Amino acid sequence: MAGRLENKVAIVTGAASRDEGTGNGKAIALLFAREGARVVLVNRSQERADGLCQEIIDQGGVAIAVAGDMTCATDTEAVVAAAESTYGRLDILCNNIGIGAPGKIADVTEAQWNEVIDTNLKSVMLCTRAAIPAMQRANGGSVINISSISAEFVSVNRGDYCLTKAATGMATKLWATRLAEFGIPVYEVQPGVIKSDMTSGVTEKYDRLIAEGLTLEPRWGKAQDVGKAVSALVRGDIPYATGQVLYVDGGMRIRRL
C-alpha cells in the first residue's frame, strides 16, 4: 500500500477489541495502513490484536500486534519501544481505548469506576508521555485523542464514561500546549452516535431518535467516518489547529428551534 502516510509509524490503542474500543480503532488502523503507514496495534488480548494485524497484512499493509495494558506505565513504554525497534521511529499516536461501566452513575461500584477512569483517562496520559521522546527523535509527530459526544451530552446510564471523555478534552488542550514547542500537534476527535459494539444495545433507541431528527444527517455514524477524520488530521490536511476538537456527529450538536 502507498499513500500520504507512507513510512509513517502509528500506534493505535484499543484497535481490535470488543471490550476496549467501539470499532473506531479498527477503522483507524485499517485506514492508516491503506495510506501506507506502518501500524502498531495495541490490545490487552494478543489474539485479537493478531487477528487485525493479519487482516492488514492480507490487504497488503504493514503492521505488528503488541499485547499490553495501557493503564500501566511499563507497558506503554514497551509499546513505544516495540514501534522504534521494529520500524525505527514513531510519528503518530492514536489514543482510542475506551470502556464504560454498565448501569446508572449512582450504581457504579468503586472497582468499576476505577477501571473506567484508568482505561479512558490514565491511558491517555501514560501513552502520550511515553510517546514524546520517540516523536522528538523523529523530529515531530501528532497525537489524536478519541473522545465522544458524551463529553458534552449527559447520559446518566454511563456517567463515568461521560466524565472521562470530558476530561479527555482538557487533556488534549494541556498536551497541545506542552508539545507545541516540539512541533507535535494534539487533537481531539469527538464521534457522535456511531454504529458499533458499544452502541449495539441501544440500536432501537437511536434508530428512533435519528428518525426523529437527532442528527442533521439522518443516519448512524460509521467507524469509517471517524477513521477518515483522524487520517485527515495526521496527514496534515487540517493545519494550524492544534488543541482543537473535530466533531464527527452528523450535526448533532447544532441546536435547532
Helix 110-117 × helix 159-179 angle, to 10°: 30
Residue 155, C-alpha cell as written in the block: 447520559
Residue 14, C-alpha cell as written in the block: 484499543
Compute the Cα dihedral for 101, 105, 108, 110 and give only its sign: positive
87 among known catalytic residues: no
Integer angstrom CA distances of residue 141 from 44, 115, 144, 182: 25, 29, 10, 9
Least Cα distance to 228 among 14, 89, 49, 35 occurs for 35
Contact 31, 4 (CB under 8 A): no
Q: Which of 87, 161, 187, 247 is catalytic?
A: 161
DSSP-assigned letters across all residues of 207-253: HHHHHTTSSSS-S-B-HHHHHHHHHHHHHTSS-S-TT-EEEESTTTT
Active-site residues: which are they? Answer: 161
